[in-house]
């Protein structure tokens, strides 16, 4: 089998005396859609940041695979290093930070930091905005867009970077029902293209629609890691069952 795109080996993360993550062992395979669920403070957002590389483990190891340029799949051997490239990982936050610039400029700034400049950046930004239905809003100030449009713009900015793995932290939590459907439709399109998607969510209906696999966290520990149908309908630890019944505090 191919190596996981990202693997965590016995990861611990501490903030001073507080242990936010404890003994996390997790592998993320190419093309997977994984939802992270649990009460507030369970460690979902922290785990996403460790998977991204924004936070370094206090103990344990985060590993990445090299990938092939053609399809983003991890290399099964290390014999073709001339064809390999580092993994590309992007993250979409619940409340994306947008610059006081146009929608197009926000996408192009992201590309600039990735080393994409000039005509190629303009073309890539235009295509990204088209993909999320914002082509006609390209010159509007990003902060004047609606909440749903801003989240779609953040998705365009992430998509323009062509990541192998996209991490999403409560991407629809503050959106109205119409905007939620729009963002979910975009995520479904990215999933259909084979992008690896990892999402933290409180919304169990969204998790059912989105995920192939569900990881349940409590107090910084992974207590369940199961296919989505098994998680909702099969045997899971008592803590996860109480969570599904809404009997654990948020």
Per-residue pLDDT of the chain in tens (250 residues, 90 and over written 9): 578 999 999 999 999 999 999 999 999 999 999 999 999 899 999 999 999 999 999 999 999 999 876 555 665 444 445 578 899 999 988 788 899 999 999 999 999 988 899 999 999 999 999 988 899 999 999 999 998 899 889 989 998 988 999 999 998 887 888 888 888 888 888 888 889 999 999 889 999 999 999 999 999 999 999 999 999 998 899 999 999 888 655 4
The whole-number pLDDT of residue 183 equals 83
Query: What are the extents of the domains in the chain?
Result: 1-88+165-250, 99-162
Question: What's phi and psi for 137, nearest 5 deg?
Answer: -105, 10
The whole-number pLDDT of residue 182 equals 84
In whole angstroms, give the CA distance from residue 12 to residue 21.
5
Q: What class has domain 1-88+165-250? A: alpha beta
The whole-number pLDDT of residue 73 equals 60
Q: Which SS3 state, helix, strand or coil, does residue 56 take? A: coil
Query: Sheet of 221-227: strands edge to edge?
Result: 89-92, 165-169, 196-200, 33-37, 213-218, 221-227
């Amino acid at each position: 089998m191919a190596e996981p795109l990202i693997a965590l080996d016995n990861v611990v993360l501490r903030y001073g005396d507080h242990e936010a993550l404890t003994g996390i062992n997790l592998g993320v395979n190419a093309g997977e859609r994984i939802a992270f669920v649990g009460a507030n403070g369970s460690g979902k957002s922290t785990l996403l940041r460790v998977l991204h590389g924004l936070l370094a483990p206090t103990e344990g190891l985060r590993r990445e695979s090299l990938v092939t340029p053609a399809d983003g799949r991890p290399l099964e051997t290390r014999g073709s290093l001339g064809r390999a490239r580092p993994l590309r990982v992007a993250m979409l936050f619940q409340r994306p930070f947008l610059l006081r610039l146009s929608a197009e400029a926000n996408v192009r700034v992201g590309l600039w930091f990735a080393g994409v400049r000039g005509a190629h950046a303009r073309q890539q930004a235009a295509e990204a905005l088209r993909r999320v239905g914002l082509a006609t809003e390209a010159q509007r100030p990003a902060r004047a867009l609606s909440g749903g449009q801003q989240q779609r713009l953040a998705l365009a900015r992430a998509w323009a970077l062509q990541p192998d793995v996209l991490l999403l932290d409560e991407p629809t939590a503050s959106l109205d029902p119409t905007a939620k459907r729009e963002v979910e439709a975009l995520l479904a399109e990215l999933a259909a293209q084979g992008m690896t998607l990892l999402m933290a969510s409180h919304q169990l209906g969204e998790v059912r629609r989105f995920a192939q696999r569900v990881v349940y966290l409590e107090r910084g520990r992974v207590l369940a890691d199961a296919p989505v149908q098994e998680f909702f309908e099969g045997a899971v630890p008592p803590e996860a069952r109480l969570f599904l019944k809404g009997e654990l505090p948020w």
